[in-house]
Amino acid sequence: MNKALIFLWLLFMQTNLFAQFNPDQSLDSSIHTILVHPEGRPRDLPIIGLNDPGVLTISFDDFNFSYQNYFYSIELVDDQWQPVPISPFEYTTGFAQNKINIFNVSSIAIQPYYHYQFNIPNQQCIPTKAGNYILKIFKDGNPSNVVFTRRFYVVNSLIGVYGSVQEPFDGAISRTHQKIQLSLDIKQLSYFQPDQIKVVVIQNHRLNDAKIITEPSFIRGNQIEFNSDRDFIFPGGNEARWLDLQSLRLRSDRVQQLDMQGGLTKVIVKPDFSKAQSPYFTFNDLNGAFIISNSESLQSEYQNDYANVLFTYKPPNGIPYVGHKLYLMGDLTQNKLNSGSEMQFNGLKGVYEKTMLLKQGYYSYQYILRDQEKPIPMDDFKETEGDHWETENSYTIFVYYTAPGARYPMIAGFSTINSRQNW
């Protein structure tokens, strides 16, 4: 790479806004059902091991009426999802840009779409460094014409990660919250200082609620302990609500009405209510994830149809939450609290409503409140879902390590634990 190309690349890195703060952006309204997950595991976060045989599957639907020339690239970023000053040739083998050549046309769906799909790594694109990555999909080989971005993780397992879910010591929250206790094995590291380690814990898939800790409780030889009663504390929440849309001809238990008169099917979901005062009930949920599936066809990826789905939430006594906004939370809204997930209060009916365009499948979701009157808005499930120590939750743990002289923190350790493992 000559000096001119290096300069242009560095300028692009400094001015690229897509990877800043929010790694998951959707910039084209014609793109739907974006999925990035380990092959065969649609419920899991997009994580692969460095030099492991596993791959990520990336897929999406395009409502444009003709084939589009889509390309993709990957970008290594730091633990804050900011670009790092490293040439793409240092963290990838293959080509900087690659065309997506695998697609199918929806065959029996009322809503026409093109379904695109590919895997990473592949012969044209192999990540060679461990860390956070941004996947970018763009049109016509033009990197500035980005249609969406998604995060994924590449792990180099140098640090052993061992964790468990415990009751907090604090009696005030012991029946409503969960505490993560962690132990790290660093014997494979040739050099270590405490400020080189950063631990991130994610409950289910909610990146915005992640807990970040840089100060361990104890260091004993090659073992690092995180056992403070103030660090990795999460509200227990409740089991997620569910919606079965695998058939648009037959009503599942949570569907109140199917309207198939012209155009797309309209699905009216039975009203939801607050579960804050209800006793805890065990249910095998998807922790906010969803699965694209169809009970009536074999190729759900490109044969499934879409439906306009109306969610309704009735607050206590039909009175809106003063000073709060209500959001639909889960992978179906990318776990984001924005206009795409905000419920609108219908004063005539005394309910909150939100219509989502969803592909056939099985969905799980929750409702969350944001307190707008706080200096820093506070989000919680306490008033809508309730908090229970017994709730089954999945926790993903990333350990970032900045080696001496390194230009960015790598992911040197990873583990997934479940609150039911201790039962």
Q: What single string gives the DSSP state of each residue in 62-125?
A: E-SSS---EEEEEEEE-TTS-B-S--HHHHEEE-SSEE---EEE-SS-SS--EEEEEEESBTTE
Weakest-pLDDT range from 6-15, 82-91, 188-197: 6-15
pLDDT for position 422: 57
Number of H helices, E strands in the chain: 3, 32
Q: Are 290 and 245 in contact (CB under 8 A)?
A: no
Band the pLDDT of 191: cuts 50, 70, 90: confident
Please count the residues of the chain: 423
pLDDT digits (tens, 9 = 90+) for 211-236: 999 888 899 999 999 988 778 999 99
What percent of the chain has pLDDT above 70?
95
Distance CA 156, CA 66 (A): 41
pLDDT for position 44: 96
Burial 48-87 (b: 16+ CB within 10 A, else e): bebeeeeebbbbbbbbeeeebebbbbbbbbbbebebbebe
Query: Is a pLDDT exceeding 70 seen at residue 3?
Result: no
Domain covering 3-155 in this structure, CATH number: 2.60.40.10
Residue 205: DSSP 8-state: T
Nearest-Å Rg of the Cα atoms of the chain is 23
pTM for the model stands at 0.91
Q: What is the mean pLDDT of residues 193-198?
A: 91
Q: Which structure tokens are listed for 90? A: 């240092």
Q: Are 232 and 225 in contact (CB under 8 A)?
A: no
Query: Is a pLDDT exceeding 90 seen at residue 22?
Result: no
Q: What is the mean pLDDT of residues 14-42?
A: 79
pLDDT digits (tens, 9 = 90+) for 339-394: 999 999 999 999 999 999 999 999 999 999 999 887 777 789 999 999 999 999 99
Burial 349-378 (b: 16+ CB within 10 A, else e): eebbebebebbbbbbbbbbbbbeeeeeeee
pLDDT digits (tens, 9 = 90+) for 93-122: 988 899 999 999 998 899 999 999 999 999
pLDDT for position 385: 97
Reference 138, options 12, 288, 242; nearest CA is: 12
Bridge partners (DSSP) of residue 259 are: 266
Domain covering 160-236+391-422 in this structure, CATH number: 2.60.40.10
Q: Which residue has the tokens 């030099």?
A: 51
Strands (E), 264-409: 265-269, 272-273, 290-292, 306-314, 324-329, 344-346, 351-359, 361-371, 378-380, 394-401
Q: Do domains 3-155 and 160-236+391-422 have the same CATH topology?
A: yes
The domain locations on the chain are 3-155, 160-236+391-422, 241-380
